[in-house]
Structures are given as structure tokens and as C-alpha cells.
Structure 1
């Protein structure tokens, strides 16, 4: 039954792909602020490493305002990015929620060429890091979100023990795109639910008068997802030794 249901959604989606479509989605990324108990626990853990948590760090964890992110797409390409940095009295302020939403990274996907990577500068240089494709379990559970009938899919390969990310996508907008790494389904991702975080579409503009132009990131060396993980592990080891 599940295989039949997935095939039906795929057929609906493929039929939609035969028509030209483009659009822009505005997502609101929300994150639950850390509790005092959680912050105290983090501070205690840092103390064992001779690191003191100052007021600036506490304020960051206690305040995680919502941020906006955008997804631009056509039939075969998409680009996801977060709004410009927040300003406070003319000075840039750090928001951990913005970092979780993607920070300065740009996520590019091309279903025709198979390209799927993000532009990233975490390691001190601009890189184009390939992204692993997620494995989804599409369920028959559905609900109406705004004007769209959406279906539930679960990220079965997630290592998140508390809660595997759940997404709600709609075959009524037949593009295989979504925010961050949440895509690859037979329909646009409308809502992502994670432990203490959500990414929800607040506005969807389809086939706007002004043509959607996808600016594919091209600067930087390309590396694989595994190479990025190795670099990240090496960076943390260096930090811990300091």
C-alpha cells in the first residue's frame, strides 16, 4: 500500500513537472531559546575545560529571535539562503538561530545535472561542499497547511535520537525542493519540524511577473561531504587542545 501511495504521488509530481513553474518561498525559522537549566549545564561543562561562560554568551543562548530565509526555484534549479545579518543599533548581532537556519551559506540544487552543494566559508576559505541526499519515508498522513494539501515524510537516516526531522510537502507544487537539506520529495516542502526548531513557509509566490533567475554559486573549490566532515573533526580537535 505504501509503495502504491508513493507511486501515485510521484505520478502527480511528474505530471506537474511537464509544465513550466517558478517561484519564491519565504520561510520563517524559529528556535526555542535555551532554558536556564540547560545554559547552566553548558556553563558547567565548559568550566571543566577551563572556559568561562560570560554574559554575552548567556544572552545569545537566551535570545534566539526568528529569522527569514528564502527559496527561489524553477523546474530544475533552486537556491536557498538566509536574510542579511540582523542589526542592533547599527551594529551586527549574533543570532544562533540564524546560524541554524543556514547562516551565510547558500544551498544550490539542480535536478537535471544532479548538482547539490552549498557555498560555505567555515574553514577560512570559500568552498562548494557537496551535500548528501536524505532518505525519506513518505507516509499517508496528510493535513492542510494554508491553501495546500501536504503529506508527511520522515528523515529515516537522521542521527537525531530525540526526534527525527519531519517535513510536510505538497505535490500541488511539483518541484523537488525545500529549505536547507530538506528536499528530494515529490513536492515543495512547506514545513519542517525538528526538536525545538521549525521552518515554515509564510509566503509562496508562484510564477511571478519578474522572471526568477537562479544565481548558481561558482566561486570556491568543490569538496565532498565526507571531506567537509573530516575538516570539521580536525578543527574541533584543534580547538579542544587550546
Structure 2
């Protein structure tokens, strides 16, 4: 068993050395196209009461938010990740339909200087998140698979979920919590029929988990410590990420393209750290919840 492990590690080392030599030239740059898709469990948020047509209509409207195409330009130490502007809806603005007034811009990473810069719009305000890179504690599994023509290896990690990560919102207690909440709501309506006219606080049964498991597949055929969005820190380009309800998959790679995009740092917006930005999001979410409560759950106040 130990001999097989040693042979496998030596083989990986040889691949890394050969690949590193191939990409050592100055001016090296690559481009990767990623498709990002997030699934939503409509039944967990009142969808069971909707007709199939209503569900379909809502999912179509959310499609621009749940399915996106991104471009990653990278060299040996830097990368720039942003949404493909050519595919945006004409009337959707820079980020199309976005969740809670959040519109993500460019994510710039520099692994040599350990620097993260992220252009972020939030409720009409422009922020420039400036912080150190957060490296996940990756665990190598030894598993491999093919993604296109590239041999990829599997790595897993546990990631802390921030307040701005709406993609991981879920009903408290999962399926069990959903059933208990439905029973409680039915009992309350039966005991007091007037409650049927009072909208329920949509935030009451929703939670964001503190942590989520991340599964990444990287290729040492392209030995750069880069990947989509916040992901990096592996001995090769990350081609696939599965995190919570979101899957990010690389669909195309162009090495040393003739028409290179300049990898540049975002500069616009109020400078904040990642922690400070997350605090701003938390406060805004609580403010929205209080507004909902004070208006009785209706945006325009109660109706007589």
C-alpha cells in the first residue's frame, strides 16, 4: 500500500516538474471560460403552494442570476475573473437580475503578493474589497478524472460561508425543519383564521450555514495556482468547483491567446476589507427584515 502511494506521489511530482518547465517562459498567459450554475429548492421557500406555471415563470426570471458565464485571464502569479459582459441581458445592468441589490464585478488575485481585490456593487454603492487572499485547507484525495483533454485531481476543503453568500440560503433544519414549520403554520391558521391574512416573515425560516464543503478538480497540466472566483491554492488550474448548490465548470481553455486581455487591478469604489463588507451586508439584511416587520409584510404597508 505504501509502495503504491509512493509511486503515485512520484508520478505527480514528475508531471508537476514537466508542466512547470513548459510554462516557465516570460509572457505566458491563458484564458479559461467557466459556466456557473446554482440550483434553488423552490419547495423550501413556499414553492409547493405555487402552480407549475408560476414556478416556471419565476425560475425563468431568475435564470440570469442562477446561470452565468465567466472569463478567467491568468498568468503565473495573477488572475482576473469577471462575468462575460457579451452575454448579459440588455436591460439587466452589469450583473443582470441580482439578489438583494448585489452585483459582483471583477475578482483580482495575486498569489505572489497574497492580494485580493474585488469590485462589488451593493444597493447602488460601489465598494472595492481589498484584503489578503484566504487559502483553504485543501485535502488531496488521490482521485482523478478527465475534464476535456485534461487529467484532473480531486481536492476537498471546508469553507466558511459569509453573509453575502445568498446561494447557500436554506430552510432552518432542512427537510425536517420544513415539515415542522408547515405543521406549526397549519395549526396556527386553524386556531386563528385572521392569521391567514398576515404575511409571514420570509426571513424567519431561512438560515445560512456557517460552513460548506467544497470539492475542486484541478489539472497540473496547467501549473498555475489559479481558479474561478475566490478559489486558488492548488498545484494546478482549478477546472471544476462544487460548493453547496453551486457548480462552476470550465468549458474552454486557450493558452497564450493572440489577443490577450490585460490583467489589471480594479480601482473603483470605497475601499473596505472583506470583514467590513460582510458587516455592511449583515446590517442591510437586518434593516430589510425590520422594514418588512414594521410594514406587516407588505412593501406598501397594510391595506384596509
Instruction: Judge same fold: TM > 0.5, yes or no.
Output: yes
Alignment partner, residue 30 of structure 2: 23
1:220–1:9: structure 2 CA closer, same or farther, 3 Å change rule? farther
Does the CA-based 8 Å contact 2:150-2:221 persist in structure 1? yes
Alignment partner, residue 50 of structure 1: none
With normalisation by structure 1, the TM-score equals: 0.76
Does the CA-based 8 Å contact 2:155-2:215 persist in structure 1? yes
Alignment partner, residue 156 of structure 1: 158
Corresponding residue to 1:145 among 144, 147, 152: 147
Structure 2 distance, partners of 1:177, 1:190, is: 10
With normalisation by structure 2, the TM-score equals: 0.62
| Stretch moving more, 23-32 or 209-218 | 209-218
Q: CA deviation at 1:75?
A: 1.4
RMSD of aligned C-alpha atoms? 3.6
1:161–1:126: structure 2 CA closer, same or farther, 3 Å change rule? closer
- 1:101-180 mapped onto 2 (5 Å cutoff): 103-122=103-122, 124-129=124-129, 130=131, 132-158=134-160, 164-180=213-229
Structure 1 distance, partners of 2:160, 2:14, is: 23
Q: CA deviation at 1:134?
A: 2.5
The yes-or-no answer on 1:213 pairing with 2:262 is: yes
Structure 1 distance, partners of 2:14, 2:119, is: 31
SS state of the match for residue 41, structure 2?
A: coil
User: What runs of 5+ residues in structure 2 fail to find an aligned partner?
Assistant: 162-208, 292-304
User: What runs of 5+ residues in structure 1 fail to find an aligned partner?
Assistant: 45-54
1:126–1:5: structure 2 CA closer, same or farther, 3 Å change rule? farther
Alignment partner, residue 34 of structure 1: 41
Alignment partner, residue 171 of structure 2: none
The yes-or-no answer on 1:232 pairing with 2:278 is: no
For 1:58-82, what per-residue CA distance to the aligned partner results, in whole angstroms no more than 9, with x for missing partners? 7147753632111011111110001
Q: CA deviation at 1:104?
A: 3.3
Does the CA-based 8 Å contact 1:14-1:174 persist in structure 2? yes
Alignment partner, residue 51 of structure 1: none
Greater helix fraction, Structure 1 or Structure 2: 2
| Stretch moving more, 9-18 or 145-154 | 9-18
- 1:183-222 mapped onto 2 (5 Å cutoff): 183-222=232-271
Does the CA-based 8 Å contact 1:39-1:61 persist in structure 2? no
SS state of the match for residue 155, structure 1?
A: strand
Does the CA-based 8 Å contact 1:177-1:185 persist in structure 2? yes
Q: CA deviation at 1:42?
A: 9.6
1:113–1:194: structure 2 CA closer, same or farther, 3 Å change rule? closer
Structure 1 distance, partners of 2:245, 2:144, is: 22
Q: Number of matched residues?
A: 226
Structure 1 distance, partners of 2:210, 2:219, is: 27
Does the CA-based 8 Å contact 1:39-1:58 persist in structure 2? no
Does the CA-based 8 Å contact 2:228-2:238 persist in structure 1? yes
For 1:61-112, what per-residue CA distance to the aligned partner results, in whole angstroms no more than 9, with x for missing partners? 775363211101111111000123632xx5338866x76xx94321001122
1:233–1:33: structure 2 CA closer, same or farther, 3 Å change rule? closer
Q: CA deviation at 1:40?
A: 1.2
Structure 2 distance, partners of 1:91, 1:225, is: 30
